Structure 1
Amino acid sequence: MDGTWLQRNLRFLVKDVLVTAAFTALFFLSAPKWGEAQVPSYRAVDATGYALLAAIAAGMLVRRWLPLYVLGAQSLLVGAILGAGYPHGPYLLAVAVTGLTVGRTSQRRVAASGAACATVLIAAGELASFFRGYARGGWDLSVGLGAALLFGVVPVVGGALIGEHRAWRAKAEEETTRRRVDDERLRMAREVHDVVGHSLSIISLQAGVALHVLDRRPEQAQISLEAIRRTAIDALDELRATLALTRAGQSMRRSVSPEPVPPEPARLEPAPAAPLSPPTPPVPPPPTAPAERTAGWTADRTVDRTPLTGLGRLPSLLAEVQLCGIPVEAVTSGPVDTLPANVDLAAYRIVQESLTNVLRHAATSRVTIEVTVSASAVSIAVADAPDPPAAQPVVSPGHGLTGLRERAEELGGRLTAGPCAGGGWRVHAELPINRAQPVGGPSRGGGGGGKR
């Protein structure tokens, strides 16, 4: 017996020692009174009887490791006690406890064999006691044989049922854990798809603009390159926040931390944009040195961060799309600032992915966004008008729309997407609001309604 085995089984050893001591004390203290409540023909417990009782109690020490052998040995000793003429006593409880262990830890066929063996040995002792004259009358024999069945079969069957229930519960817990892991992977895949897909679409379009005007309008190329840099920083910021929450095992539904949210990287403010011509943004701040940026990111990893994404970042999202030459008009109504964190995140992702699809697939003259918050639900509608009208091909939905439908269904809502009657594409979602969820999302600069 090495030290590792002892450490692993010390708790069971201590428990079994206490159980053995309890049974020994019970047997020895109650043995002198067993014959008082039974027929006087039974034999008084003497030294031989106490030795047999001690052997039965000693079997409790190893019943976890050799349950079938202990059950057979204890049943044999009980049969010997009964056959020797000693009265019935609580030693049958020791057989019952061992029978529970056999039924719980052994296969059905092995447990059935153990139950049959125990019943036969105890019944043999009852018959020997009857034929030797210690048990008088058929009533005593019937009671003894009933006790053999009761203590030989019922505990094993009960232990088998307990074992099957534990196995079923362990399997159910394993399935639940596997489903949670799969759900978490799906959630992570959706988050990465939405963040990376949108950012790469913006970067691709801005890079095309920069290449097109690099020789003729270098100042416009610089604007596009700066937009690419800030889009990449924003994407990295969102990915770090998402991965930090995953590592910490936190939920997207938690409330916003009372600590102030770290300042976001500089973004372009939304401004009206003419079709096919990006607006001139304000002068960008000087780029952050790589060492300073790295130090900031390192500090961010030590902060317990909540998702920075929500409808409060809608103006920045609109500015990114407008810089690509697509006019966007957004109208919100209702208390947008009071949305729960999970609903706020889902609503923002629906708008973001819808705009990403516009950038990827549509020859669009304008995009309209409507967000309406009521007491029980939030409605999101994103529609684009083709340029020229009715010339836009219908694009089959990809993984992005599938992920958005899954987001809406997880919240108990629904999402529809399809072509409009006059051309273009429309995405509409209804998300129920559970006010028991904490309010989340980034800090907002304005009220809950109006045009953005």
Structure 2
Amino acid sequence: MLDVRTHPRWTDRMLPVIVAVAQVAANYGAQDNQPGRLAADPVGNALLLAGGLALAWRRSRPVLTLAVTMATMVVFIVRGHAYGPIFFSPGIALYNALALGHRRAAWAFAVSGYAFFLVYTTWLAPVPSPGLWHSLTIAAVMGVLMAVGEFARTRKERKAERERITEEESRRQASEERLTMAQELHDVLAHNISLIHVQASTALHLIDDNPEQARTALTTIKQASKDVLTEMRSLIGVLRDGAPRSPTGGLDQLAQLTEPAGRNGLDVTRRVAGRVRPVPSGVDLAGYRIVQEALTNAARHAPGSTVEVLLEYGSRELLIRVTDSGGGTPAENLGGGNLGGGNGIPGMRERAAALGGTLTAERHGPGFRVEARLPIAEEES
């Protein structure tokens, strides 16, 4: 059934009173044209009023309203009163029940009502039935009324279905956005906490013999903790309030990303090939996160290694390649932690696949290489 929760206008709220008064008033004209029918009396007027006022429950109790209006019509006709205005309320109730999706009840009452008219006008009415054309006219009027009701029901159902699909799509997009932010939060935490861990170990090792270098390590820890708190506030604020946010990273920020990596004991060099040009925001953020995760893994598993970060802008794809020398760590161990079965490499693969690209992570000599290929707009000639 359709769930209708609208705030009706005053004319809609006044409809039962309008119909009730109209049925009583119009009935006097109808009985003047039907001298063989019983004139309105207190009981007849009460039936006319009851049928109209029952429409007040047409939205909350549509089937009950239809039953009451049909019953008042049948009693009114059987008592011998004039045909005409008494049909207003059951017609409106029939249309309303159909429009709200109560098809079975509406059609059952429609067929029963038509059968009643056929039986009454053929055998019970004091005035004989006008004939076949009269019966066909009643059937045609009821058919048009039912068709209009079915059309209204179909429109309401289609509108409700569109609204449901739109709402589900909005929920799905919100869920995907939160999953993306959760992935970004993981990347931010993994990168900065790994940096803090390595620098804290360095500071503890050097604090007695080389306090100046230990001071540098502690400064790096302070900046890294500040950065991670800033990004966490931004992401958690979005999750709490659903407010719009700006991208948390991009390829134009790789310099800021590689500087703390260099202080982390990595010798990082950056190289750019091809014609640098703007890329889609999704590729921009994914590229930044891939480089960030690759540097985090290098700092964790190959401290002291030489790392090359390559960005190559091709005609239709962006190549991102991060290669570390291994720093003396055996190649067999470079796939541990996030590289093997954690969230790092799988997360990078998911980012690349979501954009229609690919990512490989494998041993490269004594070190390790992460290579991503992300589609970008074709270069203009």
Please give the TM-score of this superposition, normalised by the length of structure 1: 0.67
Q: Which residue of 1 aligns with 2:178?
A: 185
Other structure's SS at 2:209 match: coil
Map of 1:69-84 to 2, 5 A cutoff? 69-83=64-78, 84=80
Task: Identify which of 140, 144, 168 aligns with 1:175.
Answer: 168
**Matched residue, 2:111:** 119
Match of 1:400 in 2: 344
Worse overlay, 13-22 or 209-218:
13-22
Separation in structure 2 between the aligned mates of residue 141 and residue 149 of structure 1, nearest angstrom: 12
Q: Residues 336, 20 of structure 1: CA spacing in aligned structure 2 closer, same or farther, 3 A cutoff?
A: farther
Is 2:370 the counterpart of 1:430?
no
Shift of 1:194: 0.7
**d(CA) in 2 for partners of 1:421, 1:193:** 26
Please tell me whether residue 65 in structure 1 is matched to residue 60 in structure 2.
yes
Q: Does 1:418 align with 2:373?
A: no
Q: Structure 2 CA distance, aligned partners of 1:10 and 1:339?
A: 46
Distance, in Å, in 1 between the alignment partners of 2:23 and 2:116 is 22
| Identity, % of aligned positions | 28
**Residue number in structure 2 paired with 1:139:** 133
Q: Following the alignment from structure 1 to structure 2, what is the Cα–Cα distance between the partners of residues 346 and 314?
A: 12
The structure richer in helix per residue is 2
C-alpha distance in 1 between matches for 2:283 and 2:38: 76
Query: Which position in structure 1 is the counterpart of 2:120?
Result: 128
The reply to whether residue 378 of structure 1 matches residue 318 of structure 2 is yes
Q: Distance in 2 between matches of 1:136 and 1:42?
A: 15
Greater shift in the superposed pair: 68-77 or 92-101:
92-101
CA distance in 2, matches of 1:316, 1:114: 70
Q: 1:196, CA displacement in angstroms?
A: 0.6
Match for residue 324 of structure 1 among 241, 264, 268: 264
Cα deviation, residue 202, structure 1: 0.4
Deviations 1:38-82 (A, max 9, x none): xx7686795456654433222221222332221111112233454
Please report how far the alpha carbon of residue 100 of structure 1 lies from its aligned counterpart in structure 2 after TM superposition.
4.6
| Structure 1, unpaired ranges of 5+ | 1-8, 253-305, 436-452
1:354 to 272, 281, 294: 294
Where does structure 2 lack aligned partners over 5 or more consecutive residues?
A: none
Q: Judging changes above 3 Å, is the alpha-carbon distance between structure 1 residues 404 and 146 closer, same or farther for their aligned structure 2 residues?
A: same
Instruction: State the alpha-carbon separation in 1 of the partners of residues 65 and 247 from structure 2.
Output: 59
Which one of 194, 204, 207 corresponds to residue 211 of structure 1? 204
| Cα gap change, 1:215 to 1:16, in 2 (>3 Å) | same
1:100, 1:160 within 8 Å by CA — same for their partners in 2?
A: no
- Residues 143 and 105 of structure 1, relative CA distance in 2, 3 Å threshold: closer
* RMSD after superposition: 3.9
Provide the secondary structure at the position in 2 that maps to 1:398: coil
Aligned partner of residue 60 in structure 2, secondary structure: coil
Contact in 2 for aligned 1:404/1:415 (Cα 8 Å): no
Aligned residues: 365
Tell me the secondary structure at the aligned position of residue 264 of structure 2. Answer: coil
Match of 1:299 in 2: none
